[in-house]
Structure 1
Amino acid sequence: MAEAKRLLLAEERLHLIQTLNALPKDQFDQLVFALQPPSGNIPSNAASQGTRSTALLQWVESPIGPGLADLEAVLASLVDSQSPVAEQSPAQLQTVEALLTIIQTLSQNQVPKYDLRGAQFVGGFAETVQGNQTGGTFNNYSISATGSEKQSTCKASELAQQVDVWFRASGYGRESYVSIEGKYCEWIITIPGLRSYNRVLVRCVAGEAGMADFRDLESTVERLRPHEGWLISNRRISTAVIELLHEYRGSQKLYCYTLDEVIDQNANFEIYMTKLEDEILQKGIDKYYIPLGCSKDEIDPKTQQKIGISHYGEYEGWIEGYVDRWLADPSKEHLSIQGEFGTGKTWFALHYAWQALQKYRKAKERGLERPRLPIVIPLRDYSKVMSVEALFSEFFFRTHEISLPSYSAFEQLNRMGKLLLIFDGFDEMAARVNPEVMINNFWELAKVIVPGAKAILTCRTEHFPDAINGRRLLSAEIKVSTANLTGEAPQFEVLELEKFNKNQVRELLLKRQAQPAVIQTIMDDPQLLDLACRPVMVDLILEALPEIETDKSVNMSQIYLYAVTHKMKRDISSHRTFYLFGR
C-alpha cells in the first residue's frame, strides 16, 4: 500500500466527527444502509448518533472497511439525491458542505483501501472481497461463489473484522499497512508501552493455523521488522505449530492464538467466575436446587389477548430446557422470567449461570468454541448508580476487579455475542410500582441490550399489575418519558415460573434432610403445603416447626409471623434495598 501523504490533523478528525454527529438522522441512517457495515459493527438506533458515528468511522478505516474514498462517494450520492438546495435550511447546507470538504481532504491524503466502483455487494463487504491489497486489484464475488480460495477469503475476512474491532476497543492503534491475499488478512497494530509502542504484525487465517501459515508469517516478519508477529485462527491450531512454539519459547517473536485467546489477553474474568462459583456453593444451590416448571401465555398480536398457555415441565426439560433452546435461537427476542414472591427466580438465575459457567470452563479447557459467559447482575446491589454505564463500571472494575481495558471493551464483547446478561430483580429497582419509574428503568437497561446480545430479566409478577401494559413495556411499545429514544429496541418474551407441585416439595424436603414425620405433616396440611410450594419458604417452615416432631398442633398464624419476620431480617442483613436509576 502506498504511504499516506500526511497524517490527519487532530482538528480535522474533530471536525469530521462533529459534522457526522450533526447529520439529520434519516440521512445518517441512509449513509449506514448504503455502506452496508456487517452486523454488530454499528450500534442500533437506540444508541446516540455520536456513538454510532464513532463506530462507523472505525469500521470504515478498519482493514476490512471500505475506506474514506467510498464514504465520500456514498455521501456525495446521498446529498445529490436529497431535496433541491433551495429547500434545505442553511444549517443543513453548512453541515453537508463541511462534511464533504473534510472527507474530500481525507480521501486526497489517503489512498483508498479498496476499489469498489461498480461492485455488486452480496451479504456485506467482509463476505465478498478477494484479492491482494498491496498492489493488486480486488474482485467481487457473491456469497454463493464456489472455490476454496473464495470461500477461505470470506472466512478470513470475517475473523479479521472481529479481531480488528476488538483491538480498537482495547485501545490499540493501527498502521496504514494492510494486506489481503487469497487465504489471509494481515495488518500492523501498535500497542502502547511504558515509553513507546510495540508494533505487531497480525495475520488472520481461515480454518486451522498450520505450518505453512506459520512459516509465511515468519518470512513477512523478517521483511517488515515489527516487534512481534501474531498468527490468529478462529479456533484451531495444528500440533506441529504448537510444538514449534515450545521450541522457540524464551526467544520467540512469533505467537499463535485463537480468537478467544486473543480476547483473553485483555479480558480476564477469572476473579468474577470464582466469586460466582463461591456464592453458588455457599448458598447450597449446587445441592438443593430443584428444577422449576414454567408457562408462557400465547398472545394474539392484534388484540393482545391471551389465546392459550404453553407449559414446560419435566418432559420439556423444565425451564432450563426452554432457556437452552432460546439461547441457541438467533431470534432477537430476550427473556423476562417472572414469578410470585419466593418461587425461585434468583436461585434459577444463579443455577443457570452455574451450569453455563461449567460449560464455558470445559470448552476453554478443550479448545472448543466457548459458549456465552454468564454475567449475573443483582440489581439490588447497586443502589447508588446513576446510569447503566455506571452500574457496569461498578460491577466490572470495583466489585469483581475484572480486567478489561475500558467500558467500550465490554460493549464490544456484548456485540460479539460473548456474554449472557442476567439481570436479577427488576422489581427491586424501585420502592413502589411507579409506572414512570418502571418505564425509565427498562429503557436504561435497554441501552446495553444491543444486536448480538442475549439478556434475561427476572422480576416479580406483581411488579406488572396490568398484564397488557406489562407486555407492552417488555415489547418496547411504551417509550421512556425522560429521553428521546428511537430505533430498534429490545423485545422480551415472558415466562412465568410455576410453584412447586407435591413431588417437588417432597424432593426438596428430602434434600433438606427433614424428618419423615415433619415431611408427612407438611404434605397432609393444605395450608402448610401451599406455603411450601414457594421454595424460599421451606427453610422457614422447617425452622418454625420444631414442635412438629413432638406431634403438637400447627399454629399457622405463628408460622406466617415467624416466616415474614425472619425474611425481613434476612433482607436487611443482605442489604436488599430499593433504588432507581437517575434518582
Structure 2
Amino acid sequence: MSTIIKGNNFRDLVASTLEAAGFHAESEIRVGPKKVDVIWHREDIDGIIRYGVEAKDYASALSMVECREFVTDYGTLVNDKAVDRAWLISRGDVSPDGRLLVDKNPNLKCMTFAELQRRLMNLDPYLRHLVETFEHDRIPEWFVAPHTDEDEPLDDVVDRWLVEFDAPPLAIVSGYGKGKTTFARHLAARLARNALANPTERLPILIPLGEIVEEQSLEGLLGKVFTTGPGVRGYNFGLFQSLNRLGRFVIIFDGFDEMKHGMTLHRFEQMIVELMRLDAGGAKIVILGRDTAFQDDIEFKSIILGRQTTAGGTEVAARDRRAFRQVQLREFSLDEAHAYVRAFFPIAANDALRQLPEVDREHWKTARIEELTVGTLDPLLIRPVHAQMLCHIATDRTVELKSLSKHGLFDRFVHFLLDREVRKAGRDPNFTLATRRRFNAEVALWLWLQGGVSTTSLAHVPFELCKTAAAGVQHDYDESALRKELTAGCLIEKAAGTVYFGHRSLQEFLVSEAILTRSANAGFSERDLDIYIRAVNSEIVDFIVGAMDSQDSARTAMERWLANLPGWESIDLEKTGMRLLVALYERLKPDSDVLGPWQPFLEYFSANGQIEYAFRSRRAREVARRLAFDSRTASFRVQASTALLIARLLSANQESRPDLVAGMVDPNSIRTAIAKAREIGKHKIHYVRREADYALWLLLSSLTFSMSQSGSGVVVNLDSFYSDAADGSPVDVIDRATEGGENVVIPPQALYRSWGARESEIERVRPFFTERSISDRIRPLEVEVLRKRHVRSSAVSETLRQARPTLTMPRKKLS
C-alpha cells in the first residue's frame, strides 16, 4: 500500500471516529492556503467551535520537524481565525520535544490517536472506580490467582490471547465457586491500572450480567453500566462500537449462566448473538459462567462451540457469530487453599474479634488458621467459595470445625446470610429467620421444578408459597405486601422485579431442605416421590444424605420414601435418583421384603459401591448371583425387575454371563419342560407361559442353539433378552450402554458348572441342549405388552427367530 493511500485511510479513520462521537467532520477541506485533513466542529455554550486536524500515519515517532511544520501552518490558521483550534493526531508516538513545542502554543494540541479516543469517551473515572472498588473490598490482600485445568496460570492465558491477532472470543467456563467472578474483577482492575498508566492500552469494560439481567439489548446493558456508578462523559453506543472495532476495549461479560436462567435454549442463543454483536474488528471479548448453564452437550455445542443441531441430528455452524475458545478452571491446590485461608481469615475475623485484646486476638487467629489448614477440612477448602464460607463460619469461636461436613457448612452459611437479612432495618421482625428460611427453600424448590432455572419475576412467585412460609405469623399484609416483605429479605433478591440465586449450590442446598420438609408431611405419596426423585441432582443428593447423617428429623422424613417405594413404578429412573435411594437403603436398613421390585436394584448397587452395572467388587458379583437365584421363588414383580437387572449385568460383565443365566434359570424348570414336551408327543409344542415360569420364558424368548465340531452352544440374543425383560419390569435404572448388545454363546458345560448339579441331575437337563427334537418343541408363549418404552432395535436377523404364537393383552399392574 502506498504512503499516500495509508495517509488517506488514517485521515478517514480519524474523521469517522469523530463522526461516531457525534461531531460533524469533513475530510480534505481547503482553509485559506492550507488543505486541512479534517475539519470538525462542536456546539459549545457560547457558540460553535471549529477544529482543524492534521493526521499523520508515520511508522516512526513524529519528529520535531513535523511538529514545527504543524505549528507554522496551523498556528497561522488559528491566528487568522480560520479555525478556532487545531490538533496534530499521530498514529504512533510523538517525540517529547515535538509534543512540548506544539502544546506550548495556545489552541494547538498534539496527541496520539489512542489519546484522542480516550478524550472522546472519557472512561478514566470508570477505570478508577474498577480499581478502587477492587481495593476497597481488600481483594488484592487475599486473591489467589486461578489456574486452568491444564495447570496454567489464567492470567498468562488471557495475556497471550490479548496480543493474538484476530483471536476468537474467550469463554472461561467452570463449576460453581471456582473464582470466576473474583477473577473477572481482578482482570478488570489489572487492565484498568495499565490503561490509566498508558493511554494506548486497552480499556476493560466489566459487565456483570447477573445484576442487570433484565436488560435484553446490548445498548441497554452498556447504558446501564455507564450510567450507574461514575458517569462516563461522551458515551454513546455508536462511538463505543467504533472504538471497540478499533481494538480499544476488553469487554468482560461475567455470569452468562445467571443471564441464562429462565431462558429457553433459543432465547439463550439469541442473547449470546446479541452480545456478540461486539465481536468485530479488533474487539476482545471474554465471557465467564458456570458449566451448569448447559443442560446437555447440545446446548454446550450451540452456545460455546457455535455448533447448532438440526432436527435431523446434524451439526451445523452458527451463521451469525464465531465460536468461543473455551478455558476450564481447576479448583485450588491444597497449597493455594491454605494460602487463601491464611490471607482471608484474618480479614474476616477482625470484626468478629473486635472485643478481644489484640494479643489474644492474634493468638486465636493463628490457632484457628492452623485448625483450618491441618488437613481434615481440605476436601472443602479446595473450592474457593467453600473456603471463603468456611473462613466466615470459623470466625464463630463456638463452632467445632473438626466435625463440619459440607451440609453443615451450608447449613451455617445459609443461617448467617439470613440472620444478616433479618437484622436489616426495615425488615418486619415478626418474620423470623426460620420463616424466611422456609420461604427461601420453598421458592428454591418451586424454581427448580420449573426446569432447574433460578430467576423469575417477583410477580410470578406463587402466593401459596408466601402463605405456607408465613403460616402462624401475625400480620395484616395483603397478597402484594406479603410477597414484597418476604422477597425483600430473601437470598435471591438481586434487582427490582428479578430474583436470582447467586450460587447454584446455595439453591441446591435450599431445594434439599424443601424436599426434606415436604417429605415429612403425612400426606407424602408415590406421586411426590416421583416428582422429587426426578428433580434431584448429585449436589442435592449429597445435601439430603448429609442431613440424614446429622438430623434425626431428616431420617424420619426420608422413611416415607421407603414406605412408598413398593408401589412406585418407574421405568426411567436416572442414576442420580438411584444413588439417593441406595443411600436411604444403607442408612435406614429396611427389610428387603418391604422394598418391592426395587429390592434387587438396591441390594446390587449397594454391594457394588457405585451406581454402575459393571462389577466393581467380588461382593457385587456374589450378590448379583444370589439375587438371580432368589428371584426363582420371588413375587412376579420382583422376578421381572431382577430379570431386567440381570439383562443389564449381562451386557456389562462378559466373564460372568454363565453364572448370571444359571442363577436365574432353575434347572428343575428345564427338567419339567422336557418332561411335558415328551408327555404331549413328538409333534406337539409345549408352550411356557410368562406368568408360570418367567425366567425360563425370558430365556426361551432370546435363545437359539449353535452347533459346531466342538459341540453345541446356547446363543443368547442380549438385545432380545433386554427388550423382553424391560417390557416385563415395572422399574428400571437407565443406562444406555447396557441396553442389550451382541449375541452371546454360552457352552452348556458352563451352565452345568454354575448349577453345581450332580451328574445324574445334569443328565436330566442335557436333552434340552443336545436334542433338537426336544428343544424345538419347548417354546415361549409370546406376550405383547402394550406400553411405550425405549428399547434398542434388535440386531438379530428375523430369519433366526422361529415363528411363535402371540397372545396380545393390555398391561395390568403386576402383583
Q: Same fold (TM over 0.5)?
A: yes
Letter in 1 for 2:278: V
Q: CA deviation at 1:320?
A: 0.7
Query: Which residue does the alignment assign to 2:338?
Result: 506
Answer yes or no: is 1:210 the counterpart of 2:71: no
Partner secondary structure for residue 451 of structure 1: coil
**Structure 1 unaligned spans of 5+:** 1-126, 129-149, 296-310, 365-369
Contact 1:191 1:199 in 2 (8 A): yes
Letter in 2 for 1:173: H
Contact 1:185 1:204 in 2 (8 A): no
RMSD over equivalenced CA pairs, Å? 3.2
Partner secondary structure for residue 230 of structure 1: strand
Give 1:277's match in structure 2, choosing from 131, 140, 146: 131
Cα 1:523–1:266 change in 2 (3 A) is same
Task: Work out the CA distance in 1 between the residues paired with 2:240 and 2:138.
Answer: 30
Query: Which residue does the alignment assign to 1:287?
Result: 141
Task: Work out the CA distance in 2 between the residues paired with 1:242 and 1:552.
Answer: 64
Answer yes or no: is 1:329 the counterpart of 2:248: no
Query: Which residue does the alignment assign to 1:455?
Result: 285
Give 1:427's match in structure 2, choosing from 257, 262, 265: 257
Q: CA deviation at 1:219?
A: 4.5
Answer yes or no: is 1:492 the counterpart of 2:334: no
Q: CA deviation at 1:498?
A: 0.6
Contact 2:29 2:39 in 1 (8 A): yes
Contact 1:439 1:478 in 2 (8 A): no
Answer yes or no: is 1:575 the counterpart of 2:494: yes
Contact 1:209 1:232 in 2 (8 A): no
Task: Work out the CA distance in 2 between the residues paired with 1:529 and 1:434.
Answer: 38
Contact 2:246 2:282 in 1 (8 A): yes
TM-score normalised over the length of structure 1: 0.61
Letter in 2 for 1:457: I
Q: Normalized per residue, which structure has more helix?
A: 2
Give 2:234's match in structure 1, choosing from 395, 404, 412: 404
Contact 1:175 1:190 in 2 (8 A): no
Q: CA deviation at 1:574?
A: 7.6
Query: Which residue does the alignment assign to 2:472?
Result: none
Answer yes or no: is 1:173 the counterpart of 2:18: no
Query: Which residue does the alignment assign to 2:89?
Result: 232
- Structure with bigger gyration radius: 2
**CA offsets, 1:244-287, max 9 Å, x none?**
34543xxx232212112222322111221122112211222211
Cα 1:272–1:546 change in 2 (3 A) is closer
Q: CA deviation at 1:486?
A: 8.3
Cα 1:342–1:200 change in 2 (3 A) is same
Give 2:193's match in structure 1, choosing from 355, 358, 366: 358
Q: CA deviation at 1:432?
A: 4.1
1:84-233 equivalence runs, <5 A: 127-128=1-2, 150=3, 153=4, 155-175=6-26, 177-178=28-29, 186-194=37-45, 196-205=47-56, 206=58, 207-221=60-74, 222=76, 225-233=82-90
Letter in 2 for 1:174: A
Cα 1:154–1:511 change in 2 (3 A) is farther
Task: Work out the CA distance in 2 between the residues paired with 1:578 and 1:163.
Answer: 45
Task: Work out the CA distance in 2 between the residues paired with 1:357 and 1:480.
Answer: 43
1:41-56 equivalence runs, <5 A: none
Task: Work out the CA distance in 2 between the residues paired with 1:253 and 1:543.
Answer: 58
Partner secondary structure for residue 447 of structure 1: helix
Letter in 1 for 2:133: E
Cα 1:479–1:154 change in 2 (3 A) is farther
Partner secondary structure for residue 161 of structure 2: helix
Cα 1:247–1:445 change in 2 (3 A) is closer
- Percent identity, aligned pairs only? 22
Task: Work out the CA distance in 2 between the residues paired with 1:546 and 1:176.
Answer: 66
Task: Work out the CA distance in 2 between the residues paired with 1:475 and 1:185.
Answer: 48
Partner secondary structure for residue 289 of structure 2: strand
Alignment length (residue pairs): 395
**CA offsets, 1:75-113, max 9 Å, x none?**
xxxxxxxxxxxxxxxxxxxxxxxxxxxxxxxxxxxxxxx
Query: Which residue does the alignment assign to 1:312?
Result: 151
Partner secondary structure for residue 40 of structure 2: strand
Cα 1:455–1:190 change in 2 (3 A) is same
Task: Work out the CA distance in 2 between the residues paired with 1:215 and 1:473.
Answer: 55
Q: CA deviation at 1:522?
A: 3.9
Task: Work out the CA distance in 2 between the residues paired with 1:486 and 1:474.
Answer: 11
Task: Work out the CA distance in 1 between the residues paired with 2:304 and 2:326.
Answer: 8
**CA offsets, 1:328-375, max 9 Å, x none?**
1113311111121111000111111121122222223xxxxx221111
Query: Which residue does the alignment assign to 1:532?
Result: 381
Task: Work out the CA distance in 1 between the residues paired with 2:93 and 2:36.
Answer: 17
Structure with bigger RCO (C-alpha 8 Å, 6+ apart): 1
Contact 2:36 2:52 in 1 (8 A): no
Query: Which residue does the alignment assign to 2:274?
Result: 444
Letter in 1 for 2:326: V
Letter in 1 for 2:66: D
Task: Work out the CA distance in 1 between the residues paired with 2:309 and 2:69.
Answer: 55
